[in-house]
Structure 1
Amino acid sequence: MTLNLLLLIYWSIRRKYWALLPLGVILFNFSYIGGVVQLRFSKPDLLPGHKSFKIATYNVKEFGREDQAAASWQIAEFMNREQVDVICFQEYQDYEHFNMDSMKMSFRNWPYNAILADTLDLLRLAVFSKFPVEKGELIKYKDSGNCMMWCDVVVNNTRLRVFNVHLQTTGLSWKRREIEQEFQSELSTMEKKKKVFKETFDLLVDGIHKRIVQADNLHRLVEESPYPVLVCGDLNSPPSVYTYFKINEGLKDGFRTAGYGYAYTFRFYKHMLRLDYIFHSESLQGIDYYSPELDVCSDHNPVIMQLGVPQQ
């Protein structure tokens, strides 16, 4: 995109019709650009009759597994400094050496919680809150270790339905290692490359199909909600595909309403991927939205949003 912008400037200065080509590319991708770049120079004032609070979403990648205690305490301290009121975790996992009670102790400043996945076959989800958490539900995906959940959080007398979402994981890195190990001695280098390409392609297509079904299901549940909605989580999708647009339908992308600068949430691949999001109902006011670099245990960064909630 930067290259197209430079080409547009160059050919425009030279008054060449070639400028139409990069201009067309930029216009075609304008929606994507708005999903990763926002220009905003000040935060809006809280609307009269509204109360503000902060919510965060964070794929913690099982708190790094090896040193869960240290990672969970560091994250809790970070969320305290940022004055976050509600935290949505994906890939929240406990093990024998650091169980669920230990995790809850780390996040004791958030006394209310909803942790609904009760099996290691699923990549667990958890919501920790300083506000009361009412009923919730776990939604499992077909043929997947991913899942989503919702719970109702009462923020200053206003009930919000919070969806904590982890859409289908690509699994590219582990699949590539699995194939290479399996056929290391049996196939030639060219045959192995062809096998890796085919298996990778099939995995990508399967993941896309699953995310489409999962996004459709989430959209239906959002439409059925009797309360204002927040959708938080790891979509494993950039802001340019069906999954993003379907979930954004009827909701606001928090980055578009309150973010600024360049947005990415995946810490690798040259900071090119925005995969984690917070969407909100139109009745909620977006005040601030950011994704700080946090090198603790995960390949993702957290996303934090400040919102204004109308008081009842």
Structure 2
Amino acid sequence: MKIIKLVQKIIPFVFLIFTSLIVIFSNKIPPSKLWIASFVSNLAPILIVLSIIIFIYSIINRNWISSLFLLVLILIGFDHITTTIQLRNIDYSSIFTTPKRFKVLSYNVSSFRIPPLFSPNYYKADSNLNSIFIKDYISNSDAEIMCFQEFFNDKNSKLYNNIEDLASNKGYNYFISNEPSHNGTTRGLVIISKFPIVNKSNVFISENGYNGACFADVVTPSKDTLRIINAHLESMKIKAINYGFSANIYGKIKYILWAFKHGSIEREKQISKLINCTKLSPYPIILCTDLNDTPYSYTYNELNKILNNSFEYSGRGFDFTLNSESLFFLRIDNQFFSKEIIPLYSTSIQSFNASDHYPVESIYAID
């Protein structure tokens, strides 16, 4: 009878551990092989938090066998904890006395939140306050290197000639991933540098012309050359359900699953190209990116194999980056760096909410 009771107590914990192990290791599976694994991997933080709560409860109730099982599970999933939250103390005084330091800004500017292209409001400054706020924020930034995703430029507009206002007129160097269209507008990726740019190129541009990656090799005042990569990976386009895609709940769920599958598989292809560019670089790398994926994903895991994440090495708290009422708990904007670079500090600027994303600022030094 005692054995039966013991088994009854252990079975729920064994089930939790088995399920959690599947979730924890699902980010090792390429979405093209099993796309649902990309969905399942996002459950990792929930299961780990649940495991910690039950572990504490088991300790209090002196259930040592269950506690042991849960402790092993928590240790196995510890990497998922450190990608979620950092509790370090930061010595701010030492940051600004470190030689050869520089700041990098990465920011998805959401096309500067412009009104519909060439609509009446497009030409009115008072209808474009977010655009003005974003531009002012960038203009006042002391970052030596700036990477922007979803950048918008209209060379024929005084209000939206952002390349001229943020780079050319200041004497900064820049690279933009796409050429202007027939109407003078450009959307894409931009790298702006106060340091000289000695080489620049696209890594890939997706079929939609919207997502992609590019790089610029910059030379710092200490004569070190760095490769700055700016990437914006495939979106899942979940916002489409808010714009009348389907009034039917079943239709919305079906669309979300299709979008998740499509986005995950496309990001797998894109991350392969990005990693190849990284491996071929002759210089230390800083990668600024809107991954459109969480720290528990295949995409993030693949990058973390070859580069370090600035939040994990020099951030604090949760550092969420998505400006959203419903998905505020996501960190999809990141900076990664190679081992030759020293991370000093990294944070998302959550007090500035003019875009759908928060700016991510990191300070580095060169070894």
Give the drift of 1:158: 1.1
| Aligned AA (1:290) | T
Kindly state the Cα deviation for residue 143 of structure 1 after the two structures are TM-superposed.
5.6
Alignment TM-score, normalising by the size of structure 2: 0.73
Q: In angstroms, what is the RMSD of aligned CA positions?
A: 2.9
Q: When the two structures are superposed, what TM-score results if normalisation uses the length of structure 1?
A: 0.85
User: Structure 1, residues 30-77: CA drift from partner, whole Å, max 9, x if none?
Assistant: 222111211211348579995000001000100111369644553454
Superposed, which structure 2 residues align to 1:29-68 within 5 Å? 29-43=77-91, 45=94, 50-66=99-115
AA matched with 2:90: S
C-alpha change, 1:194 and 1:144, in structure 2 (3 Å) is farther
Structure with larger Rg:
2
1:114 aligns with 2:175: yes
Are 2:286 and 1:286 equivalent residues in the alignment? no
Matched-pair contact (CA < 8 Å) for 1:162–1:231: yes
Give the Cα–Cα distance (whole angstroms) in 1 for the partners of residues 267 and 186 of structure 2: 16
Give, in whole Å, the separation in 1 of the partners of 2:69 and 2:301: 26
Task: Give the alignment partner of residue 276 of structure 1, picking from 326, 333, 347.
Answer: 333
1:306 is matched with 363
Distance in structure 2 (CA, Å) of the matches to 1:22 and 1:218 = 37
1:3 is displaced (CA, Å) by 4.4
Q: Deviations over 1:142-186 (max 9, x none)?
A: 466311111111112111111100000111111553422xxx5xx
Indicate how the Cα distance of structure 1 residues 153 and 70 shifts in structure 2: closer, same or farther if over 3 A, else same: farther
1:63-102 alignment, distance < 5 Å:
63-66=112-115, 70-71=129-130, 73-79=132-138, 83-95=142-154, 97-98=157-158, 101-102=161-162
Aligned-partner Cα distance in 2 for 1:226–1:52: 21
The equivalent residue for 2:191 is 127
Residues 1:151 and 2:210 aligned together: no
Distance in 2 (CA, whole Å) between partners of 1:49 and 1:57 is 22
The amino acid of 1:291's aligned partner reads S
If each structure's helix is expressed as a fraction of its own residues, which one has the higher value? 2
Tell me, in whole angstroms, the C-alpha distance in 2 between the residues paired with 1:193 and 1:140. 34
Describe the SS at the equivalent of 1:118.
coil
1:109/1:130 contact within 8 Å kept: no
Match of 1:188 in 2: none
Instruction: Report what 1:208 is aligned to.
Output: 264
Q: Give per-residue Cα distances to partners, 1:215-268, cap 9 Å, x unaligned.
A: 011000000001111110100111111111212222111111111222211122
CA contact (8 A) 2:219 2:226 kept: yes
Q: Which runs of 5+ in 1 are unaligned?
A: 185-191
Percent identical pairs in the alignment equals 25
2:200 counterpart residue number:
136
Using the alignment, how far apart are the partners of 1:70 and 1:109 within structure 2? 22
Other-structure match for 1:104: 164
1:110 and 1:129 in contact (8 A); partners too = no
